[in-house]
Amino acid sequence: MRTWTMMGRALCAALGAASVAAIPRTAEACGGTACDGGIPNSMPVNQDGENVLFVLNQNEVEVHIQISIDPDTNAQKFAWLIPIQEVPEFEVGSQPLFDALLQSSVPVYQLNQSFEQCGENGISGGLTTNATGTGQDDSAGGTGTDGGEPAPEDPVLLKTVAGAFEIVVLEGANIDPIKTWLLDNDFQWIEGSDEVLQQYLDEGQKIVALKLASGADEGDVHPIVLRYPSNENCFPLRLTRFASVENMDIRVFLLGNARAAPSNYRHVLVNPLKIDWLNLAANYKEVITKAVDELQADGLAFVTEYAGPSAVLQQFSFNVFNPSWNEAVFVGLEPQSVIDTLNNQGLTSCWEPGFCFYNHPLIEGILADFLPPPDGVAPEEFYGNLAAYADQIDLMLWGDGSGFATALNDRIIAPGVHAQELIDSYEYLTRMYTVISPNEMIADPIFHINPDLGDVDSFRPATEYNLCDGNSVVTLPDAREIFVPNGAPWPDFIGEMWWAEEIQQVALKGKPMHLVNNTAAINKKIEEWNLAHGWPRFPDDAPTTSASDSDTDTDSEGVDSATSGGQEDASGCGCRSDDQPGAAGLLALAGLGLLAGRRRRR
């Protein structure tokens, strides 16, 4: 049981007297349940993280939660508890929306190659690999009550269903009656959570409990949308620690009219010297983990992986909603024609026996509910040739197709319509990421818009300048140069211990307040390293090592510097934002990351 856990190779030719850039390959920093659509050489998708989307409306919270169930567990034993301020409306969420969020905003780290002009051939090499890497991976059921006035001791405020989930909202002054009711009604209990849940009740919050409806399985699992009146975008991380793992990924997306930042968590810019730029930045998560654990961040911090126009979602939203989807045509339809109709609507691609592709993650589960394959027949065999199994179709289960039509609308079409409306209506997307362990889950993050923060680009290209003597110089996205000896791995800067370059704090307006700024010390280490290796060759003429001005709000990567508020209120989704800590604005080396290494180092 789980609580709401947030959460080419290119042939180079000489151009001019200096260098030639090769065509880059890219790979992405991935997470969630989908990532890297169409991008070659991407990192393996990280399935351990939790993803949540806030839609930033004034005086209303709309939160989309991606629910995942361990495939090794019994789905019918799944249960989920969410402390919440008000009784919400519940809707089915859109998994394709989360897929689009993950794919469109994933940080992309690219290492271009250029070559010093050497000898008669004009370049220092022939074929070269330009690599890119990434640090980490990417309407509803009813709302009616069960009727009748509850007895005074009955903790039930609301019973409802949304898609595949049975939902109940509970309240009370004491957790014991709530615990008893959940156990008596086949909801699992989070062992050890009594004290924390009591804290939420003491703060005036209610408890939402979800479980899969009878007969549903993991193939029916979908995101859930909660909507309720509030001006605080907060999720209850304190409860997550009872169902969490060490160093859990939490990824928060926020749609609004401007950049968002954490209010009561810090904001961190990572130290780019800690990233292994030559080895697909495979240490990206390690760098983020240690950066958010630095003093003044104290494990309660986020990095920003993307902040900018939500238009980036459009190219990945082809499965979010299709105007050709129409549930009404299935009412009265002969079951043998179901797959052809779904094919025409683009929801399936089942063209022959043995081949069937489902273009929406929930369509297979809906088919299994109303048009299941006969015993012993594989789904792809059955759905690829329904006519051949016409005499084995369960006509009683299919009925007149109205049940299938209702499920199709509730779980796919209506959520898709709303997801597309969000993409079209909100012009700005922020993506934040942290790595957190159970012992650090002592405060519930709150998020707010700060209109004074700059954009954070998810594309972070660096260039490796290959010298004629076999050494090279890597120019980072912020224009700082790092000398790399011939054939050596990414340098280990002796005595350089800072995982975070900056630790910041963000208020409702203004640029970030810098709690920690290690830029000058990092620049000093770079200068010492380069000079010790004879770079630049002509110090008097060459440009000096540079970095972003710590007083500006956007670095050379376009990674802005916004942060969170004070951490003094360490308990909270009593989610209070009465005391907003001082100043904000963000610059993000946010996860400077994963770049593919040069071939000679492999």
Query: Which of 290, 359, 278 shows the shortest CA–CA distance to 320?
Result: 359
Tokens of 360: 């929406």
Query: Which of 303, 312, 302 shows the shortest CA–CA distance to 255?
Result: 312
The residue count of the chain comes to 602
Q: Give the CA distances from residue 92 to residues 51, 84, 213, 426, in Å, rounded to whole numbers and listed in that order.
A: 16, 18, 14, 20
Say if CB 566 and CB 579 are below 8 A apart.
Answer: yes
Q: Which residues pair with 487 in a beta bridge?
A: none
Q: Kindly state the helix (H) or strand (E) to which residue 238 belongs, with its residue range.
A: helix 237-240
Peptide bond into 536 cis (omega under 30): yes
Give the model's confidence band at 539: pLDDT under 50 very low, under 70 low, under 90 confident, else very high.
low
Looking only at the bridges linking them, the beta strands covering 206-212 and 165-170 are antiparallel
pLDDT of residue 597: 36
DSSP code, position 205: -
597: Cβ contacts below 8 Å, ≥ 6 apart: 131, 278, 279, 280
Looking only at the bridges linking them, the beta strands covering 428-436 and 131-133 are unpaired
DSSP code, position 330: G
Percent of the chain clearing pLDDT 70 (strictly above): 74
Query: Which of 421, 33, 425, 432 shows the shortest CA–CA distance to 222?
Result: 33
Say if CB 566 and CB 260 are below 8 A apart.
Answer: no
Q: Kindly state the helix (H) or strand (E) to which residue 113 belongs, with its residue range.
A: strand 108-115
DSSP states of 554-569 as a string? B-TTS-B------SS-
For the segment 372-399, what is each residue's pLDDT rounded down to a tens digit?
A: 999 999 999 999 999 999 999 999 999 9
Measured CA to CA, the distance from residue 328 to residue 325 in angstroms comes to 9
Say if CB 305 and CB 105 are below 8 A apart.
Answer: yes
DSSP code, position 409: I
Give the model's confidence band at 401: pLDDT under 50 very low, under 70 low, under 90 confident, else very high.
very high
Give the model's confidence band at 352: pLDDT under 50 very low, under 70 low, under 90 confident, else very high.
confident
Residue with tokens 């509910």: 369
For the segment 430-463, what is each residue's pLDDT rounded down to a tens digit?
A: 999 999 998 999 999 999 999 999 999 998 889 9
Residue with tokens 């290209």: 461
For the segment 418-429, what is each residue's pLDDT rounded down to a tens digit?
A: 999 999 999 999
Quote the pTM value. Answer: 0.80
| Residue 601, pLDDT above cutoff 60 | no
For the segment 211-258, what is each residue's pLDDT rounded down to a tens digit?
A: 888 877 777 889 999 999 988 899 888 888 887 788 999 999 999 999
Tokens of 23: 């065509």
Q: Kindly state the helix (H) or strand (E) to which residue 435 belongs, with its residue range.
A: strand 428-436
Tokens of 161: 């269903």
Measured CA to CA, the distance from residue 591 to residue 289 in angstroms comes to 10
What average pLDDT score do residues 137-153 get?
Answer: 45
Looking only at the bridges linking them, the beta strands covering 233-234 and 472-475 are unpaired
Mean pLDDT for the chain? 79
Measured CA to CA, the distance from residue 551 to residue 502 in angstroms comes to 11
pLDDT of residue 540: 60
